[in-house]
Amino acid sequence: MAGVEQRQNKSGGGKYFFCSGGKKKEVKKETGLGLSFTKDENFGEWYSEAVVNGEMIEYYDISGCYILRPWAISIWEIMQTFFDAEIKKMKIKNCYFPLFVSPGVLQKEKDHIEGFAPEVAWVTKSGESELEVPIAIRPTSETVMYPYYSKWIRGHRDLPLKLNQWCNVVRWEFSNPTPFIRSREFLWQEGHTAFATKEEADTEVLQILELYRCIYEEFLAIPVTKGRKSELEKFAGGLYTTSVEAFIPNTGRGIQGATSHCLGQNFAKMFEINFENEKGEKGMVWQNSWAYSTRTIGVMVMVHGDDKGLVLPPKVAALQLIVIPVPYKDADTQGIFDACVATVATLSDAGIRAEADLRDNYSPAWKYSNWEMKGVPLRIEIGPRDLANNQVRAVRRDNGAKTDISRVFLVEQVKGMLDKIQQNLFDVAKQKRDACVEVVKTWEEFVTALGQKKLILAPWCDEEDVEKDVKARTKGDMGAAKSLCTPFEQPELPEGTKCFASGKPAKKWTYWGRSY
């Protein structure tokens, strides 16, 4: 108790913290009630406040680095548990390569590193003494891992080699850092696989992409588009890049959700990853690499969050349900508390992640808004009337709907509601995204749609110079437009359709827009 009081005194007296700009700012008194920015009026500030007040993130004293609190990590772990089990079914094995990279190894694949060099962070000292050779911190692990692939792969019996690692990476970005979305250190999984044939590699690229779709659509309730990146936007070191693309309606920006690359034989050439086939002939391996990161959590907050704070889809919420006692002065307080504890026990036994908030130093109203800010999908209130009627009151976070549930049917009703919330979050997000899609045929329509923050679907000639031209012609303080992906699901492209940007014959429908 003394600890709690002290903490409240401190914050009331003006504690310092680090705000989004990295500058020190004096805190208003911590009332714990709601957010001070709305999602529509100031999206950037709303987002920072949602992730901090929702207790996912704490700002740190190094720009672009954030503390991931248990509320965020628990979401990461749920996705990790799913993905890790799925890749194990595919016979992919986990491993761990070192964080540090020697300069020689880092620069082995020059074309690959060239454009990225400014983002590489280096360790130059130990204590006061300069290191003889500075050491880089991995921005990705191709150059770290592939020398060992070369060593470990000799014959066709060593193939396929399929490894994954769960780790952190560091990219010293300079454009505006945003928690989860663009941070200088982030968590990801990186998969690196090698096959004897291109066909096997091609198949895996799509299997992994399907798992990424599943994470977004089934877990995070976010609609994504599967597709292929343009030559300009693909990973330059690879053969082709596929991705799942999401969209943030509030900012009108596309965001790459995860990528699955076929690297072809480029890295095999560079790192001499060769093998001998059954006939004793020499061959080079075909490789893939693929990753998703903690960015997933940021996309979830941006898509589902509202003016009250976070909105967590039940499938990824650490806590799916919070039970709050609502005692009145003359009521049977002990009876209400007992009903709360019993409700949690019943739900927990049924596999529902539930807890009761029995703290006596906060009012029910304060607790409601606090758990709303944290995005718990379902709230159960138990008051004297509920106790008398052997019922509870359930309140949905996604739409505020209130339902009285008989305690006799508690488990089945709650399960049904959690499923409905999960589905509704996806449906609403899809409806909002679809409302932003604009099909354009001409440059004029394209420019207008871009100004209206649309997700643009346009017929394109698929020429690199034309995409460069689109970028150049749309440059401005909002950032240039670029291709997001060519969706695998292509609408019909009538004969004679022209490219929206060049007027040449169009080859495919491609999504365009500004992006993160």
Q: Which residues bind ligand 86X (CB under 6 A)?
A: 112-113, 116, 119-120, 139-140, 142, 171, 190, 235, 259, 261, 289-291
Question: Phi and psi at residue 401, in whole multiples of 5°?
Answer: -60, 135
Q: Provide, rounded to whole angstroms, the least separation between the CB of residue 162 and ligand 86X.
A: 14
Burial-class residue 500 by CB neighbours within 10 Å (0-12, 13-18, 19+).
buried
Q: In this structure, are residues 388 and 377 in contact, taking their beta carbons and an 8 Å threshold?
A: no
Name the residue nearer to ligand 86X (CB basis): 112 or 367.
112
Burial-class residue 406 by CB neighbours within 10 Å (0-12, 13-18, 19+).
exposed
Name the residue nearer to ligand 86X (CB basis): 261 or 454.
261
Q: Provide, rounded to whole angstroms, the least separation between the CB of residue 139 and ligand 86X.
A: 3
End-to-end CA distance of the chain: 45
**Neighbouring-strand partners of residue 17:** 25
Name the residue nearer to ligand 86X (CB basis): 63 or 165.
165
Residues 6+ away with beta carbon under 8 Å from 191: 87, 92, 162, 163, 164, 208, 288, 289, 290, 291
Query: Strands, DSSP E only, in 11-113?
Result: 16-18, 24-26, 57-59, 66-68, 93-94, 100-101
Q: Provide, rounded to whole angstroms, the least separation between the CB of residue 93 and ligand 86X.
A: 16
Name the residue nearer to ligand 86X (CB basis): 225 or 289.
289
Q: Provide, rounded to whole angstroms, the least separation between the CB of residue 269 and ligand 86X.
A: 17
Q: Provide, rounded to whole angstroms, the least separation between the CB of residue 143 and ligand 86X.
A: 8
Q: Provide, rounded to whole angstroms, the least separation between the CB of residue 170 and ligand 86X.
A: 8
Q: Provide, rounded to whole angstroms, the least separation between the CB of residue 145 and ligand 86X.
A: 9
Residues 6+ away with beta carbon under 8 Å from 306: 39
Report how far residue 176's alpha carbon sits from residue 34's, in angstroms, rounded to the nearest whole number.
26
Name the residue nearer to ligand 86X (CB basis): 289 or 294.
289
The token duo for 203 is 């198949």
Question: Phi and psi at residue 462, in whole multiples of 5°?
Answer: 65, 35
Name the residue nearer to ligand 86X (CB basis): 102 or 413.
102
DSSP per position, 49-75: HHHHHTTSEEE-SSTT-EEE-HHHHHH
Q: Provide, rounded to whole angstroms, the least separation between the CB of residue 123 and ligand 86X.
A: 15
Residue 132 DSSP label = E
Name the residue nearer to ligand 86X (CB basis): 71 or 235.
235
The token duo for 227 is 């597709």
Name the residue nearer to ligand 86X (CB basis): 163 or 303.
163
Name the residue nearer to ligand 86X (CB basis): 167 or 342.
167
Q: Provide, rounded to whole angstroms, the least separation between the CB of residue 423 and ligand 86X.
A: 31
What residue type is assigned to position 68 of the chain? L
